[in-house]
Structure 1
Amino acid sequence: MFSGFQLRDWLLANDPALSRLRMASRVTLAIVLSFLILLAIHASVLPLPTAAFGLGIVLSIEGGIAVRDKGNARQLVTRLLGCVASLAIVAVAAGLEDSRFLSDLVFLVVIALASAGRVFGPRGFAIGMFAFTSYFMGAYFRPSLADLPEVAIGPVVSVLVGHLVRAVLLPDDWRRDLLRSLESVRGRINQILFKLAAIAGSAEVGDTDRQELRQLEDRLKEVVLMAETFIPRPPAGVFDGAADPAAELAIRLFDVHLAAESAIVLSFQSPPPFALVHAVIETDKAELATYEGMAESIGDQPQSETVRALLWLGEARQQLTQAIDEGQASGFSGIDTINDTAQSQPIDFSFGNPLLRSALQITLASAIAMGFGLLLSRERWFWAVLASFLVFTNTNSRGDTAMKALSRSLGTVFGIAFGLGLATLISGEQAIAIPVAVVCIFLAFYFLQISYATMTFFISIVLCLVYGMTGVLTLDLLKLRIGETVIGAVAGTAVAFIVFPTRTRGALDGALARWFQALRDLLDALGEGKGSFELIALSQRIDACYRDVTVAARPLGSSWSVVTRPGQIRQTLAIFLACTYWARILAKNYQTPDADDNLHRLIAADLALIDNAAPRGSACFLIERKASRTTGRHLPLLREGARLGLEMIGSALERLYPQADVLPFAAGEAIARSKQG
């Protein structure tokens, strides 16, 4: 059985900073409290219409997910504005109830306005979601105008309870989240060390082991990027000096991430000794000292470089542990909170703004879903509109939309199949059904950020349980639910591919352009002799851009894609990952006094390769390459780390286009060296 500490470590390893746990807890607690308060009002004060309960529950969900403003005061303002919008929208829906055709047209107008509201940022997005779901519930439950005062209690209660949960019961705390994310970083480094221990002493690292280590590396990168967001930075994003406690912590995090990546890369070349990995895990100082001497005696052999990488990782891990211990003791009291001084961006109402193009797509998809949904059912067509609206949320391309539509359809089908059996099994046992429904709500929003299909699966189970408890559960109703969901998903996908289509490669081109620009900025900063903190900040931007590239490339390499093979996608992403890694090695080891003409020539050569590759965008993902494994030393010594980093970046960029019509990097270097000689 898990002990309390083991359970916490497991949660942190799978949910950095416990962010998913906290969001699911907030949504679930807000729903439960809102429902109980409304039930108490219904039982002891005045009877409430069903619409009040429906709005209270749905707006509790939106309050926990859609409200993303920073700071409790801003969140409260957004919730109150959302509540006002909700009450106005429900009043409109009730007033138009006798004119169903006009009501349906107004629903489309609400959808258009709610979608377009996203151009105003997080607040516009949240108010738009409040408005959409409120009209949805108003048209679904059809309250009369006379019922509006009682109906209004639902949104008001949900808004107040949602703010209470978010601001008081489960508040945000960046210091707590920073500590938890650092603990998650340490946990994922431990996973890497355990895997290295498993392969230690092998003659060669197998493909399965390589894949697993790469996955562990990706998971480490994910949590490091999260931890970096919790460290307060100056408005310019660059620390002034190492004396700043926040700067020291950022450097420790940067160092341990780089050390872990180096240990993985070098272990591919030469697996580490088991005794060394065990000494790093156990922090055995005597054994580590023995290997320090061994690394010096071996010289520049591959085994020596692997040993150095493990020793570096061991030292960086100890420094991270020290930072965690200090954070636990002091709560990072030496790090000051920096107020959000970000300037608001100008609002772009042209169709050049992808948010407005998306609003048009959502409106058209909703109209199509409404039309076909009405043909299937005059009473339940709202499900089709809901599906078509939601498949566009947080998608960047038509491939993304298609994947989300498929996930929603599959989640609905399997959720209803499971929920039907479960509801039948516990029919009439509300004492069992209600807790099960609460657990399913929690699980749905716990998995929201990692699997939309899983979220939809659990929500479908909840609906089956609710239908069962209210006595309306029938097989025909569930078939209708599936049919309407499929209609909405298909409508959304069709519009995404036809109207203002954002091709997967188009989204990938944009992500690649940002990645190349970030790399170019780093190389330019090197040539200008910028300070180490600025170089590290620029290399971290490359890391963040690489994450965006992997997200944009995901639909291109999915199993249903006929564009190219997933293997090519992985090979190309590996090249960008290598460049990103060496860019951070370069930022760490570059020292301005060591700059010379040769380094400037290397920088110029890398910039030339970027100028050749960047305009071609995502074409590099369609090139077939021979699988190659980089050989030679990977861990640079400090005296030549900048040079080696530049060389390795150039070597990786060359691999994007093996037949590029530019002078190959290696040949260019050979010529440069011959001229020097």
Structure 2
Amino acid sequence: MRDRLAASDPGLLRLTAGLRTVGAVALTLAVLASAGSDITHLVAGAMAAMVATFSIRERRRDAQAVTLAVGLPVALVSVSLGAVLSARVVVGDVFFVVLIFCAVYGRRFGDRGTALGLIGFQVYFLSLFVGASASGLPELWAALTVAFACSALVRFAVVPVTPTGTLARLRQAFRARLGRLVSAYLALLDAGPDEVDKALEDVREGNARLHETALMIQSRLEEGTPDESSARLVQRRIADAEIAAERLGLLLLSARSAERADTLTLHLPGAPAPEVGRLPGPDESTAVLRRDLLALRALVVRAGPGGTGVAQLRNRLLGYRDEENLPAATPAVRDVFRAVGETARAVMGLRVALEGPQDESDDSPATARSREELDAEDAAIDAGEEEEPAERRKGLQRPTTRAAAQVAVGSTLAIAGGELLSTDRWYWAVLTCWIVFINTASTGEILVKGYRRLLGTVFGVVAGIVLAGLVGPHTWTAFALVLVLIFTMFYTAPLSYTLMSFFVTAMLGLLYTLLHTYSWEVLVLRVEETALGAACGVVAAALVLPVRTDRRTDELLVTVLERLAEVTEAAVGQLSGGPAGDLLDKARRLDQALGDLRSATQPLTHPVTPLRARRTNARYVVALLETCAYHARSLAATAELLPTHPSIAADPRLRGAAGRTVRNIVTIADRVADEDVTAPVGTGPSIASLLGGDGTTRYGRVTDRVLRHLERLDEAVVGLARPLGVPVTAPDR
């Protein structure tokens, strides 16, 4: 159960966010109720505690404390202005728009600027929601002060979270998800012809989730590890385990297929599984492979030393790295056993990096040899090079400035339209307009987010009506349900924006009940204001400094291709005998760029999009890029083994043979960035044939794995040309 929870919520980040917010709200209600506060101030305190908790996103505790301390005076000023200006409609509306602009513009100053902007906006909204007046400010100030104090107490004492603890839980999640991926491989091994598509889909999902956890770990290494060397060691072992696990799945699928499976099959959603049959070779080898996959899963998920039994399992699996220990089987099945041995080695390296030195008393010669290789690799890891600062845009080209201008125009439209619908609750349209601009960067993303919020709001209104009818006048029952809805809101927020909007609207129905302003008309008005706010956000995004989804995805696609060329060229250069480079960081930047592109293409791949051909094309391009990234990561990982691995040596011929691949990547990037570029993508002989010779000596200098990754990468890059409209030419023969 612990592993299931760790795998479903990596780092327990969602659980922690929900518990923190609920704890802060509950403690605030308890303090205010004991002081005799009325319902209005209880609601205000609960909302302020929620804002003070979710607004702060910094990872270091000292930075969180500073932001929370600065956020209190910002909240007090905001609620005061909201109360004073409530009677001055025009001045209040103008100030609200200015506040919204400043809150969004503050995102350019990092997490603290974002948090203070959120606090300023949300507390001003709070003053409108509870109908704050100048005469009632002292009580509101007291409620906000209690809310911020309770939020701090829960954050730092009741539910404390440290970067080290978060990283430890993320590493546990990585191990749990790796174990579930091995279970998916077991299901793929035993799947019949009618079950293989479902088994392959589970493998795709397992690989995607494992990669997601690896990226989360990489983003927290700097704060969660004691020094740069430790961070790079963990990063290296995580990357090794991810690559080894994905390669194991590919070879297992190839062994069950009539021909070698394409890496794209593991990345393209809905791609049909290749025709599969019974695993070739004697039945005994299939039974042994099933037993060894079960042993590999046990090595992955078992924490602690494990004893002699676990040591024997590890020794047997690592023995497959020696040719003489492979069972009698076809070459494809023997490749799977080799991959099992390599994955077991990666798991052992990960365990050493995360848990420290292990008991070596029961090691076999193969295990001792693997430990020596890992120790040599660990000693070769250094601090690496500093990352070059990114180019900064200026003026209206800066994303935060453009978004601030857009949301200010959208909010102005929302205020005007909202007051036509209701002079009392026009601010709901402004809130929706504000929210659809958070964490979005293109018109398409804003449209999808607005649609999801409207959908969640409609269903939330129905739930609010039912809950309000059940609760009736029972105040504390309503507050208890509010706490439950707050927890579910924060727990589901990273998973589904529609679900989060549903729980928010249901909670607001209960708050209206507490404030004795609940009615069917109020909840219907909520839907109308939400639709209006979403429409105003889309209109503003489309007319004011618009960033079309095509332009946004093209920019990110060029970045991914540049990172891919950078990793490939550096890895091939090192494999050719060039100087060692910072391959791990280059591969991480490639993964981050690919993650940004994947998020930006969501409007194109959304299930309700009417452009079916475009959706299929976008999914295919992203899947091809994920395939390219996998091979580039594998090349980088192999290149970093050069100084320590006895079976890998530099081959100067690789630089010339792989030069075509790098040139093709650059050509595609230039074509995406500028449609006037007409240079074609070139094809020709295979990478292996470009090395020259009779084909018998190359394996003594460069492993077959390097050639396979280079050839697959070359094929995938050429495959990118067709959906992106880049011409392909073959040399004259």
TM over 0.5: yes
Supply the RMSD in Å over aligned alpha carbons. 3.4
Q: Which residue number in structure 1 is paired with residue 29 of structure 2?
A: 35
Is residue 214 of structure 1 aligned with residue 262 of structure 2? no
Cα deviation code 1:229-274 (max 9, x no counterpart): 3333899x996xxxx4444333221111111111122222124732
Quick one: which of 653, 656, 663 aligns to 2:717? 653
Residue identity opposite 2:344 in structure 1: G
How many Å separate the matches in 2 of 1:142 and 1:474?
A: 17
CA 71–183 in structure 1, closer or farther in 2 if over 3 Å, else same: closer
Quick one: which of 668, 671, 681 aligns to 1:616? 671
Q: Report the CA distance between 1:424 and its aligned residue.
A: 1.4
Q: Which residue number in structure 2 is paired with residue 623 of structure 1?
A: none
CA 656–345 in structure 1, closer or farther in 2 if over 3 Å, else same: closer
Q: Which residue number in structure 2 is paired with residue 553 of structure 1?
A: 601
CA 352–639 in structure 1, closer or farther in 2 if over 3 Å, else same: same
How many Å separate the matches in 1 of 2:673 and 2:450?
A: 25
Q: Report the CA distance between 1:378 and its aligned residue.
A: 0.6
Cα deviation code 1:627-647 (max 9, x no counterpart): xxxx999xx996243333322
Residue identity opposite 1:158 in structure 2: A
Check conservation: 2:25, 2:49, Cα contact below 8 A: yes
How many Å separate the matches in 1 of 2:357 and 2:455?
A: 44
Quick one: which of 123, 146, 161 aligns to 1:157? 146
CA 251–505 in structure 1, closer or farther in 2 if over 3 Å, else same: same
Residues 120-135 of structure 1 correspond to what in structure 2 (within 5 A)? Answer: 120-135=109-124
- Equivalenced residue count is 630
Residues 436-475 of structure 1 correspond to what in structure 2 (within 5 A)? Answer: 436-475=481-520
Q: Secondary structure at the match of 1:555?
A: helix
Residue identity opposite 1:280 in structure 2: L
Check conservation: 1:295, 1:305, Cα contact below 8 A: no
Residue identity opposite 1:602 in structure 2: A
CA 388–227 in structure 1, closer or farther in 2 if over 3 Å, else same: same
Residues 199-348 of structure 1 correspond to what in structure 2 (within 5 A)? Answer: 199-201=188-190, 206-232=196-222, 244-271=229-256, 273=286, 274-283=290-299, 284-285=313-314, 288=317, 296=326, 301-321=331-351, 323-326=353-356
Q: Secondary structure at the match of 2:395?
A: coil
Q: Report the CA distance between 1:360 and its aligned residue.
A: 1.0
Is residue 570 of structure 1 aligned with residue 636 of structure 2? no
Residue identity opposite 2:346 in structure 1: A
Q: Report the CA distance between 1:358 and its aligned residue.
A: 0.6
Cα deviation code 1:94-135 (max 9, x no counterpart): 222332222122211211222222222222211111111222
Check conservation: 2:414, 2:433, Cα contact below 8 A: yes
Residues 296-445 of structure 1 correspond to what in structure 2 (within 5 A)? Answer: 296=326, 301-321=331-351, 323-326=353-356, 350-445=395-490
Quick one: which of 575, 590, 607 aligns to 2:662? 607
How many Å separate the matches in 1 of 2:255 and 2:460?
A: 47
Gap runs ≥5 in structure 1? 1-5, 621-630, 672-677
Check conservation: 2:687, 2:710, Cα contact below 8 A: no
How many Å separate the matches in 2 of 1:389 and 1:20?
A: 23
Check conservation: 1:221, 1:257, Cα contact below 8 A: yes
How many Å separate the matches in 2 of 1:26 and 1:327?
A: 36
How many Å separate the matches in 2 of 1:220 and 1:434?
A: 38
Residue identity opposite 2:202 in structure 1: E
CA 254–527 in structure 1, closer or farther in 2 if over 3 Å, else same: closer
Cα deviation code 1:399-427 (max 9, x no counterpart): 11111111111111111112211221233
Bigger drift between 218-227 and 313-322 goes to 313-322
How many Å separate the matches in 2 of 1:347 and 1:268?
A: 45
CA 129–246 in structure 1, closer or farther in 2 if over 3 Å, else same: closer
Check conservation: 1:68, 1:122, Cα contact below 8 A: yes
Cα deviation code 1:116-165 (max 9, x no counterpart): 22222222211111111222222343433232222211222222222222
How many Å separate the matches in 2 of 1:472 and 1:228?
A: 48
Q: Which residue number in structure 2 is paired with residue 598 of structure 1?
A: 653
Q: Secondary structure at the match of 1:86?
A: helix
Residue identity opposite 2:464 in structure 1: G
How many Å separate the matches in 1 of 2:203 and 2:394?
A: 46
How many Å separate the matches in 1 of 2:192 and 2:720?
A: 30
Bigger drift between 493-502 and 277-286 goes to 277-286
Q: Report the CA distance between 1:63 and its aligned residue.
A: 2.2
Q: Which residue number in structure 1 is paired with residue 179 of structure 2?
A: 190
Cα deviation code 1:330-385 (max 9, x no counterpart): xxxx9xxx9xx999999966101111111111111111111111111111111111
Residue identity opposite 2:292 in structure 1: L
Check conservation: 1:366, 1:389, Cα contact below 8 A: yes
Q: Which residue number in structure 1 is paired with residue 100 of structure 2?
A: 111
Gap runs ≥5 in structure 2? 257-278, 280-285, 300-312, 360-377, 676-685, 689-698
Residues 525-536 of structure 1 correspond to what in structure 2 (within 5 A)? Answer: 525-526=570-571, 529=574, 534-536=582-584
Quick one: which of 136, 144, 149 aligns to 2:133? 144
Check conservation: 1:111, 1:363, Cα contact below 8 A: yes
Q: Report the CA distance between 1:211 and its aligned residue.
A: 2.4
CA 344–129 in structure 1, closer or farther in 2 if over 3 Å, else same: farther
Check conservation: 2:163, 2:223, Cα contact below 8 A: no
Q: Secondary structure at the match of 1:579?
A: helix
Check conservation: 1:585, 1:641, Cα contact below 8 A: no
Q: Which residue number in structure 2 is paired with residue 643 of structure 1?
A: 707
CA 171–632 in structure 1, closer or farther in 2 if over 3 Å, else same: farther
Residue identity opposite 2:409 in structure 1: L
Check conservation: 1:108, 1:363, Cα contact below 8 A: yes
CA 422–140 in structure 1, closer or farther in 2 if over 3 Å, else same: closer
How many Å separate the matches in 1 of 2:427 and 2:9?
A: 34
Cα deviation code 1:182-240 (max 9, x no counterpart): 111111111111111112155768333322211111111001111223333899x996x
How many Å separate the matches in 1 of 2:420 and 2:446?
A: 24
How many Å separate the matches in 2 of 1:443 and 1:382?
A: 24
Check conservation: 1:62, 1:126, Cα contact below 8 A: no
CA 185–410 in structure 1, closer or farther in 2 if over 3 Å, else same: same
Residue identity opposite 1:135 in structure 2: Y
Check conservation: 2:233, 2:353, Cα contact below 8 A: no
Residue identity opposite 2:337 in structure 1: V
Check conservation: 1:114, 1:132, Cα contact below 8 A: yes
Q: Report the CA distance between 1:313 and its aligned residue.
A: 1.9
Residue identity opposite 2:622 in structure 1: L
How many Å separate the matches in 1 of 2:293 and 2:716?
A: 29
TM-score by length of 2: 0.79
CA 39–532 in structure 1, closer or farther in 2 if over 3 Å, else same: farther
